[in-house]
């Protein structure tokens, strides 16, 4: 059940690496006072993984450990979860699922300047071209809570943060019946 007993909503911000999730979530947390949960950081800090993937140079996330770690916080509400994946979180956790999207050539430049190359760079650009995260979000959550937002420019970021802040402040708990 969406919004099951929470006084404040939970938002999931997903999208291909480099689309601006962490930047957007930090600003949204500043604007609303909610807790920004960067799942990548949490996995590193609490070792919620099963080792290191050499090809893609990232930890192999242990989805069960991550969900166990977050369950109590999510039940309380008032969280913004930041992760480049969304199909393993319980559907009931989120009141809004935001998928950030970026023009391929802009994303390519962002990831290159972050030092991505080879299969890691190609894999992420393909992920964006084929809208993998949007499809994953639509397959995992009710269609009416999934929104795609463009994140090409700093103006896009401000507009997205304003829009999500308004949504957050206007959200009301659903009455159980
Ligand atoms: P993610 O968390 O999705 O991997 P980040 O928020 O870390 O993305 O952003 C990656 C880089 O791209 C950062 O240097 C950030 O400043 C820049 N960036 C992200 N989104 C935008 C945007 N909409 N306009 C301009 N720069 C952006
Ligand atoms: Mn990030």
Q: Are 99 and 149 in contact (CB under 8 A)?
A: yes
ipTM surpassing 0.90: yes
Instruction: Enumerate residue ranges in the chain where pLDDT < 50.
Output: 1
For residue 17, tell me if it sits in a domain: no
Q: For ligand 1, is residue 62 a contact (CB within 6 Å)?
A: no
- In-domain check, residue 1: no
Evaluate whether residue 50 is within a structural domain.
yes
Q: Which residues are annotated as a binding site for ATP?
A: 18, 20-23, 114
Q: Which atom of ligand 1 is nearest to the CA of 23?
A: 6
Annotated binding site: 18, 20-23, 114
Are 74 and 10 within 8 A, CB to CB? yes
Among 13, 16, 17, 18, the mutation site with the greatest number of ligand 1 atoms within 8 A of its Cβ is: 18
Domain-located, residue 9? no
Identify the domain containing residue 136 by its residue range. Answer: 22-165
Of the listed ligands, the closest to the CA of 17 is: 1
Neighbours of ion ligand 2 (CB under 5 A): 21-22
pLDDT of residue 40: 97
pLDDT at 158: 98
Does 47 map to a domain?
Answer: yes
Ligand 1 proximity of 110 Cβ (cutoff 6 Å): yes
Q: What are the tens digits of pLDDT across the range 85-97? A: 999 999 999 999 9
**Count of domains observed in the chain:** 1
For the chain, give the secondary structure using H, E and C.
Answer: CCCCCCCCCEEEEECCCCCCHHHHHHHHHHHHCCEEEEHHHHHHHCCCEEEEECCCCEEEECHHHHHHHHHHHHHHCCEEEECCCCCCCCHHHCCEEEEEECCHHHHHHHHHHCCCCHHHHHHHHHHHHCCHHHHHHHHHCCHHHEEEEECCCHHHHHHHHHHHHHHHHHCCCCCCC
Is 44 part of any domain?
yes
Beta bridge partners of 101: 150
Assign residue 75 the CATH number of its domain. Answer: 3.40.50.300
Q: Is residue 133 part of a domain?
A: yes
pLDDT the model gives residue 57: 84
List residues bridging with 16 in a β-sheet: none
8 inside domain: no
Could you give the CA distance from residue 114 to residue 56 in angstroms, rounded to a whole number?
14
Among 15, 16, 20, which residue has the most ligand 1 atoms within 8 Å of its CB, making it the best to mutate? 20
Query: Rounded distance, CA 124 to CA 26, Å?
Result: 22
């Amino acid at each position: 059940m969406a919004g099951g007993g929470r006084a404040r909503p939970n938002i999931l911000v997903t999208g291909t690496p480099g689309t601006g999730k962490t930047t957007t979530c930090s600003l949204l947390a500043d604007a609303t006072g909610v807790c920004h949960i960067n799942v990548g950081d949490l996995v590193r800090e609490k070792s919620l993984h099963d080792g290191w993937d050499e090809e893609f140079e990232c930890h192999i996330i242990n989805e069960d450990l991550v969900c166990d770690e977050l369950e109590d916080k999510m039940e309380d509400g008032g969280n913004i979860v930041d992760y480049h994946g969304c199909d393993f979180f319980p559907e009931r956790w989120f009141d809004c699922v935001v998928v950030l999207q970026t023009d391929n050539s802009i994303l390519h430049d962002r990831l290159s300047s972050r030092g991505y190359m080879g299969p890691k760079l190609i894999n992420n650009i393909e992920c964006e071209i084929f809208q993998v995260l949007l499809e994953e979000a639509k397959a995992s959550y009710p269609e009416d809570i999934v929104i795609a937002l463009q994140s090409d420019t700093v103006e896009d970021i401000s507009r997205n943060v304003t829009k999500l802040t308004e949504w957050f402040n206007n959200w009301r708990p659903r009455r159980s019946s």
